[in-house]
Structure 1
Amino acid sequence: MLCKKCNILFEVDGEVLCSLCTGYYHYKCSGIQESTYKRMTTEKKASWRCLPCRQSDNNDTLAELVKEIRSLKTQIKTIQDGLNKANTGISSIETKFIAIDDRLDDLDARLTLTENNVERIQSLATNFEDLKSELKLHQKNDFERNQFLRMNNIEISGVPQKHGENLLSILNCISITIGFQLQETDVDTIHRVRRFITSVDSRKDADPRHPAIIVRFSQRRRKDALIAAARGRRHITTADAGLPGPCTPIYINEHLTTRNKLLLKKARDFKNQNNFKYLWVKQCKIFIRKDDKSKIYLVSEDTDFAKIR
């Protein structure tokens, strides 16, 4: 079954049914919110009509009304011609008909203006949808561009921050622990970045975790090699790496944008709620899979969860 507006096949049964043209629509194509439609009674759903059908009815009604008014004007003109030939005793009646004619002219003009406004509203609605699609495309391109700039980066979490610390030395200790041979030419830049706080409390002490270490590699293949080595040696701690201070877990991950970190958290919640077996990040892209035999899904935006089965 296809959506009558976008001609895309429904993955499930049609969502909204027009009672006039019997076409099925996605909620986003129908112009009605899903929550609003689901709150409607059975009778209202059975009489619901899509926007084209409603506009068609309005246009037909306006056209018929204008046609009837113009026909009425013609009849009044004929009557006026007959009255002009009558005696002067009916002059007052003629005056009244003239006044009616003026009012009908005004009504005709107002109806014509209404027709023009309806056409303008339809055009504005189309332009608005086009602008929404264009904005969404620009946002998506901007998200992808921001993530692409981090493709050579890794993010190391869990290492306590010390005054006067040597981040390269820390990175080298971690590399030795996971079996990765760090070369002098590998690192372009290395620095700490304060974590993004999702809580409504935006004070500096709201997140007790230490700032993450961001490492930008000169070559992406070397970054990928370190990530692979880290996945082969999970659950390492600061004690394993010979770092001073309390023993804390160390996490080594792709450097995701704030948007993709939030998306990964939603994907993790989705995985747990729906008993999915696999969730992973590769080349800064989020993937999810139900089990060993099921399809692998790429999660790039919130709406992707509705497509996952």
Structure 2
Amino acid sequence: MPPPKKNLAAEELEDIKRSLDFLTEEVSDVKLQQKTILELVEEVKALRIQNAEKDRQLDYLENRVADLEQYTRMNDIIVTGLRIKPRSYTKAVTADHGGEPSELEANSVEQQVAAFLQSKGIDVDCNNIEACHTLSWRNDDKTAVIMRFVNRKHKTALLKQGRKLKGSNVYLNEHLTKRNADIARKARYMKKQRKIQTTWTTNCKVFIKLNGTPEEAKVIRNIEELDKYQ
């Protein structure tokens, strides 16, 4: 005989109750997972803010270090393209006179540079030179010489006379850090491509002027800043 309808209804209600209980548990699990996900999202947002702040601090510190590094070179001039007599020659001269090779060698570089500049009508007073020595360079008999002046005005005065070296293949430039030298190099390349009007350095800062605009010169602190003018 078939079971009474009342028992069937009771079983159906029991099944529905079990289903509802199961769904309630599932919903609770979903809500718990959703809460966990939301907490993780908030944590990620907070970490992103912290990372952005750390990136800003890092950029600031890197710029400060770069500025300090450049400041130590503020009174320097790099002379390139000048033929300097070999050290062995200078030492032979010092040996004949019984002097200290290193001292006379340093003076020899300074005297050679000063003599060449003066031969081109450039006024340079050796009393204003604090140090003068050669740097390693890639050319064969040509070298690079660093001249450090006692103050910035003497360096600036010499740089202003650099136009007198036109055609000599000898150049006077500020002693830039690698970072600023890379910026200056890219700016010169962009000028050659006529993407900017002109570029120059003053007090070891790289300046550019844009094409067809009356705007004032822009200071370029990062090489990425030049990308928007490509």
Tell me, yes or no, whether TM beats 0.5: yes
Find the partner of 1:107 among 30, 39, 47. 30
**CA distance in structure 2 between the partners assigned to 1:151 and 1:289 by the alignment:** 23
Per-residue CA deviations over 1:181-240 (Å, capped at 9, x if unaligned) read 443431222222224xxxxxxxxxxx4454411111111111111111223x12263xxx
Distance, in Å, in 1 between the alignment partners of 2:28 and 2:143 is 75
Superposition deviation, residue 293 in structure 1: 7.3
Q: Structure 1 221/97 Cα, relative in aligned 2: closer, same or farther at 3 Å? A: same
Gapped regions of structure 2 (runs ≥ 5): 1-8, 91-107
Amino acid aligned to 1:297: K
3-state SS of the aligned residue for 2:33?
helix
- Code of the aligned partner of 2:53: D
Higher CA-based Rg = 2
For 1:228-285, what per-residue CA distance to the aligned partner results, in whole angstroms no more than 9, with x for missing partners? 1223x12263xxxxxxxxxxx2111111111111111110111122265532222112
Q: Secondary structure at the match of 2:82?
A: coil
Match of 1:153 among 76, 101, 115: 76
The alpha-carbon distance between structure 1 residues 93 and 278, as it changes in their structure 2 partners (threshold 3 A), is closer
TM-score normalised by length of structure 2: 0.74
Pairing 1:253–2:173 present: yes
Give the number of equivalent residue pairs. 201
Q: Which has the higher contact order (CA 8 A, sep 6+)?
A: 2
- Deviation per CA, 1:272-305: give whole Å up to 9, x if none: 2226553222211222235797322222222433
What does residue range 86-235 of structure 1 map to in structure 2 within 5 Å?
A: 90-161=13-84, 162-164=86-88, 165=90, 166-195=108-137, 207-208=138-139, 210-231=142-163, 233-235=164-166
With normalisation by structure 1, the TM-score equals: 0.57
Aligned to 1:301: 222
Structure 2 CA distance for aligned equivalents of residues 178 and 126 of structure 1: 59
SS in 2 for 1:126: helix
DSSP-derived class of the 1:294 partner: coil
Letter aligned with residue 158 of structure 2 = L
Partner residue in 1 for 2:5: none
After TM superposition, give the deviation of residue 138 of structure 1 in Å: 1.8
Answer yes or no: is the 8 Å Cα contact 2:70–2:176 preserved in 1. Answer: yes
In structure 1, distance between residues paired with 2:213 and 2:19: 84
Structure 1 residues 292 and 112, CA gap change in structure 2 (3 angstroms): closer
Does the residue aligned with 2:219 lie in a helix, a strand or coil?
A: strand
1:283 equivalent to 2:203? Answer yes
Paired-residue identity, %: 21
Q: Relative to structure 1, is the Cα distance of residues 302 and 190 closer, same or farther in structure 2, using a 3 angstrom cutoff?
A: same
Deviation at 1:158, TM superposition (A): 1.0
Could you tell me which amino acid in structure 2 is paired with residue 284 of structure 1? Answer: C
* Greater strand proportion: 2
Runs of 5+ consecutive residues of structure 1 not aligned to the other structure = 1-85, 196-206, 238-248
Q: Structure 1's 128 and 292: CA in aligned 2 closer, same or farther, altered over 3 A?
A: closer
Q: Check whether the contact 2:196–2:229 (CA below 8 A) recurs between aligned residues.
A: no
Whether the 8 Å CA contact 2:110–2:133 is kept in 1: the answer is: no
Provide the C-alpha distance between the structure 2 equivalents of 1:277 and 1:94, rounded to a whole number of angstroms.
Answer: 81
